[in-house]
Chains A and B, each alone.
Chain A
Amino acid sequence: KAGVTQTPRYLIKTRGQQVTLSCSPISGHRSVSWYQQTPGQGLQFLFEYFSETQRNKGNFPGRFSGRQFSNSRSEMNVSTLELGDSALYLCASSLGGPLNTEAFFGQGTRLTVV
């Protein structure tokens, strides 16, 4: 079965712009989580969606937002990009139980802000 698909794989944006990243989960998975990975801060949780509802949120500013569609696909948006937003953004899908005991990750979107 197909894995988690993230598009695009690479993005270059200018400071002040906004960006939208997409994640298609494994078929049948209803939970999608997003993480930011940087060399300095490591892997940090952004938010989690289940059945179009945000169930959990990390400590990121309001410039970071997301949504989930009825087919479980998810998007995250970052507005007013800053240089520090340069990172690998990973999404993970799972069946959606409260403890998500097996999350499957996509290959990530590498965002570079110049």
Chain B
Amino acid sequence: AQSVTQLDSQVPVFEEAPVELRCNYSSSVSVYLFWYVQYPNQGLQLLLKYLSGSTLVESINGFEAEFNKSQTSFHLRKPSVHISDTAEYFCAVIGGGTSYGKLTFGQGTILTVHP
């Protein structure tokens, strides 16, 4: 079984400041890791994913996340945030041979960007 802990439920930040949203996971098997973003009254959109290879993965809108196997972490970072980044962010994992469709999500981090 897997579990995901997002260490901050809310992160307020000013526009153009850097931000880090923290995610730790627990699993007895190898996992794939994801960050999803949810805007109000919307579904989830995939922001980025780690499957294998380079431990640093990037999204098209400036976010990046680094997979750290020894610390079982997959923190999300952005060097300069915009108002439009205000949303809820979910870290998720999937792993194991019979995990069909079963993403395990963290509790979410609400990122609020202030002008």
Q: How many residues of B contact A (CB 8 A)?
A: 26
Assess whether B101 is in contact with A33, with CB atoms less than 8 Å apart: yes
B29 to chain A, nearest CB (A): 11
Assess whether B100 is in contact with A31, with CB atoms less than 8 Å apart: yes
Provide the residues of chain B in CB contact with A48, threshold 8 Å: 100-102
Q: How many residues of A contact B (CB 8 A)?
A: 29
The A interface, classified by DSSP as helix, strand, loop or mixed, is strand
Interface positions, chain B 72-115, Cβ under 8 Å from A, are 90, 92, 94-95, 97-108
Check B43 for interface membership: any CB of A closer than 8 A. Answer: yes
Check B44 for interface membership: any CB of A closer than 8 A. Answer: yes
A50 to chain B, nearest CB (A): 7
Cα–Cα distance between A32 and B100 once the two chains are bound (Å): 10
Check B70 for interface membership: any CB of A closer than 8 A. Answer: no
Check B54 for interface membership: any CB of A closer than 8 A. Answer: no
Provide the residues of chain B in CB contact with A2, threshold 8 Å: none
- A105 touching B44 in the complex, CB below 8 Å, given contacts A42-B107, A43-B90, A99-B95: yes
* Chain B positions near chain A (C-beta within 8 angstroms): 32, 36, 41-46, 49, 51, 90, 92, 94-95, 97-108
